[in-house]
Copies of this chain bind each other. A is one copy, B any other.
Amino acid sequence: MSNAIERRVPQQERGERRIAELLAAAEVVLSETGFEATTMKAVAQQAGASIGAVYQYFDNKEAVAHALLAQYDAEMDRRWVNLEEATRALSVEELAQRFVDVMIRFIEQHPAYIVVLFAPGTHKRDVKVQNRLRERLALVFRSRNRRLSKEQSLLVATLTLQMIKSMNSLYALSKAGERATLVEEYKLALAAYLTSRLAG
């Protein structure tokens, strides 16, 4: 459609630093402003850079969100390596609780996570990104119920992640006093679902 100008790949350390600064700035702006209202100018300002600098490395806002999501995904993956081993001894209830707890902590540390997760186009463009965690989850489910096909376990993982997403958006909107109750309810719901799926 448009013949966009080529973006720079950082060659020096300061280039990489800049990218990191820009992403950190984007995290702040996105979490405070939401995706739509976030402006490239605002990101630049927050990073103490010029708009020009942003466009050296990113085509547009979507690209920034995408890079941030990729970063989050890598971090998430780091936390969940060996998910199966680490949770093997847990009951299904405990598994559900553990999963919810870790995800809650993650979004508290990275408040822009749900923003980029729900950003327009995320669904279509970043399926592969979401998939890493989904596949780790599916593996856990399959190891607990051998009768689940690969597709079935992926579907269970999909619903699980959707429940987390849904919880996250409510969590972000609710007052601090209500959050504990909300989280408990989601743990219960997830446990009920997983129990019915992993029994046997």
Contacts and interface: CB of A to CB of B under 8 A. Distances in A.
B181 A155 contact: yes
A163 B170 CA distance: 12
Interface stretch (A4-12, A16-24, A68-76, A185-193): A185-193
A134 to B, nearest CB: 13
Interface residues of chain A: helix, strand, loop or mixed (majority): helix
Interface residues of A, number: 29
Interface centre among A124, A181, A191, A193 (most CB of B within 10 A): A193
Given A36-B120, A155-B181, 11 more contacts: A34-B120, A36-B36, A124-B173, A155-B185, A156-B185, A163-B166, A165-B166, A166-B166, A188-B193, A191-B196, A192-B195
